[in-house]
Chains A and B, each alone.
Chain A
């Protein structure tokens, strides 16, 4: 799998490169700023670009903008944004085009290598990976409503669904069987009046749409 990395801090760039190579990824380019990212994406045609939000020269949300531009010029590119902080406003911008193949994670998550690698694969394959922080921001400000009808277990499942996990991954995370997860998911969709969806990404969008409303 071909990967382009955009990260301005050499320490993190090299670490990330090593980590990905160790796990069998083909890192075809590692760049330091947004313009270079767009150029490399068009040149190397990677499966996924892993991009830091904050890049030179302004050190604001340069990376996010560059990634969105690269994606609009080469729509097949999956993008995974990594950052020291998460804001759900940025997640909204990433998800705005309604297509899969986007991810937004705290850099902290890289420490759990297996899960991070899994997230990279999932996003590259057209899925979604949203940081639990983003999802919990959406949960914090919910007023009472249909969510009250969900059992605590179902709330956990809904949060993991919104993060973009598959039923198998949810089963692993909660240490229950896939069958039990499927039952919870069906019950959630029914209680919240959400449409059952064929792809995991559609499911994420439906869950987020619901949480934001």
Chain B
């Protein structure tokens, strides 16, 4: 029982209350900042002044994020280290691109935006709820000053007023727990300021983040609306105004849930692209929202038809452009795959011709000469035969290496993990291997994954002078993600023969291939391949 009342005595509760209430004044400030920033960038976008405007906006956002981080640290006790915007972008377009492509910048804006919307709603709702509950507690003293109606009951005497005191106390207790709960949820949002969607694998990390955040989002939606409905019930009771928050907050929640659903796999196979699937979901949600607005208002003329048509056109155009882009991609990747296979075959032919075939010719010659000398000079014949045997050994070794380069036998026998372990055993480097695959991948994906790791590992030891390499292969939804990271000197050329061949191979499987190798390192090679059959 004591547990229920404990938060009342804890200072932490009041710090958290202060944090949630700070949402109201800060909402105004951040709304002003974001509005001014985007207005400035938007209006100046046709002039060269857009660069200083964007840079200033970025730094202002950083300052705001820093302020939010300080508030969160002192009031919520959540530590978020906000990184300074990186410098070093050069040139007009370089700076614009650096600004717009910085995930931290966007994540910080998103946080500030949440603060201006949800934060404001929480602050106002919480203040109203607490004030209403507090008012019920002091009702015995207050009812004399004018007649009062509470929950439809006319309060005109002390006993009636006293009867409401426990309700008020219960409300205050509920408010304390609401503060704890919402502060706990908000604490999970604070890290957005610092490490938005980690730098290595933006898309997959982002997907994981979205998936993890969905329950919190849903609880938040439910909690806030219950709170508002309670406030509505406790106060005016007239027009059901919480329907507006119910509907409008359902919009982002629905889009969020839809995004997670799309990433979970099955749908993507139908719609082929994530962006189109999300667009479709968002458009349908928006349309349903408008229909709901129409339904709860005057009804009459079905005006949502027009925005609905507009949305349909947008989705249609998106689908069309996706389809044409898809055709382009298929055309290029097919050409790339054919080229890569062609040059691979040429390389194998050359290796056979210059290597094993030549060795077998020499072997035949040695044996022929030995045959001649068998009678006349048995000693020389013995020597020739020994040479022939050594030559056969060399030819075998060369053929074995060639075969391994085409398709390592252990990959077919035992799968990716065993093949990579065998590969790692052959290089004199410290390699950490983290393979997390529930089952065998489709053959083509498995061997592409193997060769991505093999080529990256060879580059790390031959060119990058690395001492440590991390190889990771994990399943994310219906895709396998292979990441190879080394601590070498970087500067790998993604258009070199080896990496270009890998790209062609991965793209032919409808995957994406990325090389990130700034001078000075580290080098990260990442391949994401769908493995749905």
Contacts and interface: CB of A to CB of B under 8 A. Distances in A.
Q: Do A and B come from one complex?
A: yes
A108 B413 contact: no
**Taking chain B's interface residues, is the majority helix, strand, or loop, or is none over half, making it mixed?**
helix
Nearest to B422: A87
Given A108-B393, A140-B428, A143-B430, A85 B414 contact: no
Nearest to A83: B409
B413 A60 contact: yes
Nearest to A143: B430
Contacts of B422: 87-89, 137
Nearest to B419: A87
Contacts of A88: 422, 425
Given A111-B393, A140-B425, A140-B428, A85 B400 contact: yes
Residue among A54, A112, A137, A141 with the highest chain B CB neighbour number at 10 A: A141
Given A89-B421, A141-B428, A111 B409 contact: no
Interface bin, chain A? 10 to 19
Nearest to A109: B393
Interface in B400-455: 400, 403-404, 409-410, 412-414, 418, 421-422, 424-428, 430
B144 interface: no
A154 interface: no
Given A89-B414, A108-B393, A108-B397, A137 B409 contact: no
A84 B413 contact: no
A2 interface: no
Residue among A88, A89, A106 with the highest chain B CB neighbour number at 10 A: A89
Contacts of B210: none
A107 B430 CA distance: 31
B78 interface: no
A182 interface: no
Contacts of A61: 413-414
B389 interface: yes
A80 to B, nearest CB: 18
Given A60-B413, A61-B414, A137 B425 contact: yes
B98 interface: no
Nearest to A212: B425
A88 B419 CA distance: 11
B199 interface: no
Given A60-B412, A61-B414, A111 B425 contact: no
A106 B410 CA distance: 15
Interface in A103-147: 106-108, 111-112, 137-138, 140-141, 143
Closest 4 CB pairs of A and B: A61-B413, A60-B413, A87-B410, A108-B396
Interface of A: 54, 60-61, 84-85, 87-89, 106-108, 111-112, 137-138, 140-141, 143
19 contacts: A54-B409, A60-B409, A60-B412, A84-B400, A84-B409, A85-B400, A85-B403, A89-B410, A89-B414, A89-B421, A106-B396, A108-B392, A108-B393, A111-B392, A112-B389, A140-B425, A140-B426, A140-B428, A141-B428
Given A85-B409, A138-B425, 16 more contacts: A54-B409, A60-B409, A84-B400, A88-B425, A89-B418, A108-B392, A108-B393, A108-B397, A111-B389, A111-B393, A137-B422, A137-B425, A141-B424, A141-B425, A141-B427, A143-B430
